[in-house]
Structure 1
Amino acid sequence: MKSKSLWSIIIGLIIINCVTVGYFVLQEPATIPVSADDQQNEIIATIGDQTITRQEWLAELEQRFGRDTLKELVNIEVVEELAKKHNIQVSEDTIQRELAVYKSMYNSLDEEHFGDEGNWEKQIRYSILLEELLTKDVSVSEEEMKKFYDNNADLYNIETSYHLSHIVVKTEDEAKVIEEELKGGSSFEALALETSIDEFTANQGGDIGFISTQNEYVPAAYLKVAPTLKEGEWSEPIKVDAGYAVILLHETLEGKSYSYDDVKGQIRRQIALEQMEGSVSVEPLWEEIGVTWFYEGE
């Protein structure tokens, strides 16, 4: 039950995984340095004697990604418009709480990398609005919600965690060289990719994710050193089983316990979603607001 109930954000992350492109598309478009009349025939690549025009490129993009991208944009607008219609809002405190929960569970081996925090806030908001819309007519008793909270109390206690990256090398001398290169302005991510012997994190720029005292997969020494670092600061060489490591602190996530009142809304959505049949999807909401689109009938 608990693995299924790691907040509604887990379900939300599955949903919002498909809307990231839409948010990028909705941002202010880049200025194209050509007139409107010339855009379609503008040559954007030359390969020997052959050329590729903007029109050919856009046609290929539409063929490959057009349907899915348009659907993502429609879904975003459907959720936004129906949230206004039903006066459903999401507070900043709610967004930050669920963002903190996601951070506490994030590790660098996740398929979904953390990326830009602002985009995650938008996606979390979208996820909550969708869940509220889908479950607005589902009745969940106070008794059931309180029982859920009591049975899953550990889910609402976030321990202090540290978002770390590391570079692991075989000798202390190598670690000292890494430290000097960092002092000289070298990129931690680039050095991890080039020199770290930890094959699991090297390709991620050394990113480990958020670790707490309950994490058994990183050296205990990391948790002793991490609290002494400022955000953006790296450590001196640390002795570990594989050799020596230099760690970088990205962010400290302060621990917090959430009361029943803090998470009552999330619990209601969680229970209501578990009662629903089928997958969590925006499409059932299309009819309510009325959607017609380019791919109608396909």
Structure 2
Amino acid sequence: MSYRRDDRDVRIATSDAGRPRRRLKTKPLMILLLILFVGNLLWFIAWLIPNNPEGDEEVASVDGQEITRQEWMAAMEEQHGRETLLELVNLKVMETAAKEYGIKVSDKEIDLELAMMRSARDGSEVMLYSSDTEHMREKVKAQLILEKVLTKDIVIEDAAIETFYQENQALYDVPDSYRTRMIVLETTQEAQGVIEELGNGSSFEALARERSVDTATGSLGGDIGYIVPGQSTIDTAISNAVSGVDVEGWSEPLTLADGRAAVITVTEKAEGNTFTYKDVEGHISRELALEQLPQSVTPEAFWQEFDTEWFYGE
């Protein structure tokens, strides 16, 4: 680009004293600044008012009728909002209680409780596969804080703890357990077809939701929780095969007791452990102390103490 010494660029004028003065034309500069300002203003307005507000975003449609994100979120809040918020509030209440009463919970204590839950096989392990690992540990920690607060003033004699350990030592010899998913089919041929799909890269969880004739587990992506080899509460074919399945691998078609077929996969192996008296002394003491309480207590009992309020206003 070239510059010319004329009125469109830089103009030299002479003052009465004969000294030259250089004067810049300001009009083009002001126009440029105005354009930049208007452009930034329009961008800011567009940022504040998006073309497709999140609440109006279409997440599904049926026969041309859309379902918006707002409708979806409202339905989830109505169905699960109270329970989800209750859990969050109680986790925070127990965290506050731990600070108030000087309660400590170690990772080792959490590991013990999780191992005991996996080996219980009485339904208490449901929380083990209803959420991710970190969330699961948070819930166990909150439960331990609650139990420690409730039993902090109850004294259990050492002799009672030792007797309980000797009489129930088998409880603390925890075997390996396997987080398992299954797909149930009507025939072995169908099960073989599923195995071929898995070999071609299909998701086990997605196939369980789509193909499993066991709707209860199929809706969970085939998740049946932690299985111990030889477990009597699960089909023998599955409990006998689970230890031979590699993590993220899958089994050959298994013939179930009712004549149907199944394919299983192992998503996680939890190593077993034999816990010593020292390992479980605190656990036993707390369990015996809880038995002396007249009734079970939930975290809600501490809401008033810690000035707890929530959306549902109860």
Task: Judge same fold: TM > 0.5, yes or no.
Answer: yes
Correspondence for 2:296 among 279, 289, 295 = 279
Correspondence for 1:97 among 99, 112, 116 = 112
Secondary structure, aligned partner of 2:287: helix
Secondary structure, aligned partner of 2:109: helix
- Which structure 2 residue ranges, 5 or more long, are not aligned? 1-45, 59-67
Is it true that 1:194 corresponds to 2:210 in the alignment?
Answer: yes
Q: 1:166 to 1:107 in 2, by over 3 A?
A: farther
Q: Is the 8 A contact 1:78 1:286 kept in 2?
A: yes
Could you tell me the percent identity over the aligned residues? Answer: 35
**Partner Cα distance (1:235, 1:73) in 2:** 38
Is it true that 1:156 corresponds to 2:172 in the alignment?
Answer: yes
Q: 1:146 to 1:224 in 2, by over 3 A?
A: same
RMSD (Å) for aligned C-alpha atoms: 3.9
Aligned twin of 1:14: none
**Partner Cα distance (1:200, 1:73) in 2:** 27
Aligned twin of 1:141: 157
Correspondence for 1:258 among 262, 269, 275 = 275
Aligned twin of 1:129: 145
**Partner Cα distance (1:74, 1:267) in 2:** 28
TM-score computed with the length of structure 2 as normaliser: 0.65
Q: 1:243 to 1:278 in 2, by over 3 A?
A: closer
Aligned partner letter, 1:253: A
Aligned twin of 1:6: none
Aligned twin of 2:248: 232
Q: Is the 8 A contact 2:118 2:125 kept in 1?
A: no
**Partner Cα distance (2:235, 2:310) in 1:** 54
Aligned partner letter, 1:91: S
Is it true that 1:114 corresponds to 2:125 in the alignment?
Answer: no
Aligned partner letter, 1:165: R
Q: Is the 8 A contact 1:106 1:209 kept in 2?
A: no
Deviates more, 1:137-146 or 1:73-82: 73-82
Q: Give the structure, 1 or 2, with the largest relative contact order (CA under 8 Å, sep 6 or more).
A: 1
**Partner Cα distance (1:140, 1:228) in 2:** 43
What are the residue-to-residue correspondences of 1:158-237 with 2, within 5 Å? Answer: 158-237=174-253
What are the residue-to-residue correspondences of 1:35-114 with 2, within 5 Å? Answer: 44-45=55-56, 75-105=90-120, 112=127, 113-114=129-130
**Partner Cα distance (2:268, 2:243) in 1:** 10
**Partner Cα distance (1:34, 1:133) in 2:** 50
Size of the aligned set, in residue pairs, is 253
Question: What's the offset of the Cα at 1:43?
Answer: 8.3
- Which structure 1 residue ranges, 5 or more long, are not aligned? 1-32
Q: 1:292 to 1:202 in 2, by over 3 A?
A: closer
**Partner Cα distance (1:184, 1:217) in 2:** 33
TM-score computed with the length of structure 1 as normaliser: 0.68
Q: Is the 8 A contact 1:196 1:202 kept in 2?
A: yes
Q: Is the 8 A contact 1:179 1:236 kept in 2?
A: yes
| 1:66-100 Cα shifts (integer Å, max 9, x gaps) | 7x877655544443233234332111111112112
